[in-house]
Amino acid sequence: MTDNNPLLQEFNTPHQTPPFTQIQTAHYIPAFTAAMEEGRAEIKAIIDNPATPDFNNTIEALEKAGNKLSRISSIFFNLNSAETSEAIQEVAREVSPLLSEYGNDIWLNEALFARVKAVYEQKDKLTLSTEQATLLDNTYKGFVRRGALLNAEDKQKYRNITAELSKLSLQFGENLLAETNDYKLHITDEADLAGLPEAVREAAQQLAESEGKEGWMFSLHAPSMLPFMQYADQRELREQLFRASTKRGNQDNQNDNKANILRQAELRLAKAQLLGYRSHADYVLEERMAQSADKVNAFLNELFEKSFPFAQEDVAQVAAFAKQQGLEGELQRWDFAYYSEKLKTSLFDLNEEMTKPYFQLEKVKAGIFDLTNKLWGLSYKLNKDIPVYHPDVFAYEVFNRDEQVISVLYLDFHPRKGKQGGAWMTSFRDQHVENGQNIIPHVSVVCNFTPPTASRPSLLTFNEVTTFLHEFGHALHGMLSEVTYESLSGTSVYRDFVELPSQIMENWALEKEWLQDVAVHYQTGETMPEDLIQKIIAADNFQSGYLTVRQLSFGFNDMAWHSITEPVATDAISFEKAAMAKTELFPEVAGSCFSTAFGHIFDGGYAAGYYGYKWAEVLDADAYALFKEKGIFDQATAESFREHILSKGGTRHPMDLYVAFRGAEPSVEALLLRSGLSK
Q: Which helix (H) or strand (E) holds 395?
A: strand 394-399
Cα 461 from Cα 28, distance rounded (Å): 38
Amino acid letter for position 365: K
DSSP H helices in 583-651 = 599-602, 612-630, 635-641
Kindly tell me the burial class for residue 382, based on how many C-beta atoms sit within 10 Å of its own C-beta (0-12, 13-18, 19 or more).
exposed
H, E, C per residue of 38-58 = HHHHHHHHHHHCCCCCCHHHH
Q: Are 327 and 535 in contact (CB under 8 A)?
A: no
Contact 412, 445 (CB under 8 A): yes
Alpha helices in 506-605 (DSSP H): 512-518, 530-538, 544-563, 572-580, 599-602
Q: How far is CA 559 from each of CA 167, 280, 295, 348, rounded to the nearest angstrom?
A: 22, 9, 11, 37
Catalytic, out of 341, 471, 511, 617: 471
Quick one: DSSP state of residue 488?
Answer: G
266 carries an active-site annotation: no
C-alpha 272, offset from chain centre: 24
Q: How many CB atoms lie within 10 A of CB 435?
A: 5
**Sheet arrangement for strand 442-446:** 379-382, 394-399, 405-412, 442-446, 424-429
Distance CA 597, CA 294 (A): 26
Burial of 509 (0-12, 13-18, 19+ CB in 10 A): buried
Asked whether the beta carbons of 357 and 522 are under 8 A apart, the reply is yes
Number of neighbours of residue 449 by Cβ within 10 angstroms: 22
Q: Is 434 helix (H, G, I), strand (E, B) or coil?
A: strand
Rounded Cα distance, 162 and 171, in Å = 14
The three-state secondary structure class of 171 is helix
Measured CA angle at 501 (ends 498, 502), to 5 deg: 90
Q: Strand 424-429 vs strand 405-412: parallel, antiparallel, or unpaired? A: unpaired
Which of 500, 528, 518, 497 lies closest to 374 in space, CA to CA? 518
For 127, list phi and psi in degrees, rounded to 5. Answer: -100, 90
Q: Which of 242, 184, 241 is nearest to 212 (CA)?
A: 184
Residue positions annotated with a catalytic role = 471
